[in-house]
Chains A and B, each alone.
Chain A
Amino acid sequence: MTRVAVVRFPGSNCEAETCRAIERAGGSAQYAWFRDTTLDGADAVILPGGFSYGDYLRSGAIARFSPIMDAIRRHADAGGPVLGICNGFQILAEAGLLPGALVRNAELKYLSRPVDVTVERTDTPFTSAYRAGELIRIPIGHGDGRFVAPDQVLDELEAKGQIVLRYARTAASDVPANPNGSQRDIAGVCNPGGNVVGMMPHPERLADSALGSDAGHRVFVSLLESGVAARR
Chain B
Amino acid sequence: MTWRVHVRILPRAGLLDPQGQAVEHALAALRFPEASNVHVGKAIALDVTAANAEDAASRVRTMCERLLANPVTEDFEIAVEDARS
Contact = CB atoms under 8 A, between A and B. Distances in A.
Nearest to B73: A101
B70 A108 contact: no
Contacts of A149: 72
B29 interface: no
A126 to B, nearest CB: 23
A104 B18 CA distance: 8
Contacts of A105: 18
A108 B18 contact: yes
A46 B16 CA distance: 30
Contact of B72 (A62, A100, A181): A100
Given A106-B16, A148-B15, A181-B16, A101 B22 contact: no
B67 A108 contact: no
Contact of A57 (B11, B18, B67, B72): B67
A103 interface: yes
Interface in B50-76: 67-68, 70, 72-73
A108 B22 contact: yes
Nearest to A107: B18
A65 interface: yes
A61 interface: yes
Q: Is the interface of A mostly helix, strand, loop or mixed?
A: loop
Interface residues of B, number: 11
A200 B63 CA distance: 28
A106 B18 contact: yes
A227 interface: no
Contacts of A107: 18
For A103, A105, A146, A181, which residue has the most chain B Cβ atoms within 10 angstroms? Answer: A103
A94 interface: yes
For B16, B22, B67, B73, which residue has the most chain A Cβ atoms within 10 angstroms? Answer: B73
A69 to B, nearest CB: 13
A148 B19 CA distance: 16
Contacts of A57: 67-68
Contacts of B72: 100-101, 148-150
Interface string B3-36: 0000000010001101100100000000000000
B14 to A, nearest CB: 10
Interface of B: 11, 15-16, 18-19, 22, 67-68, 70, 72-73
8 contacts: A57-B68, A100-B72, A103-B73, A104-B18, A105-B18, A107-B18, A108-B22, A181-B18
Given A103-B11, A148-B16, 6 more contacts: A62-B67, A103-B73, A104-B19, A108-B22, A149-B72, A181-B16
Interface of A: 57-58, 61-62, 65, 94, 100-101, 103-108, 146, 148-150, 181
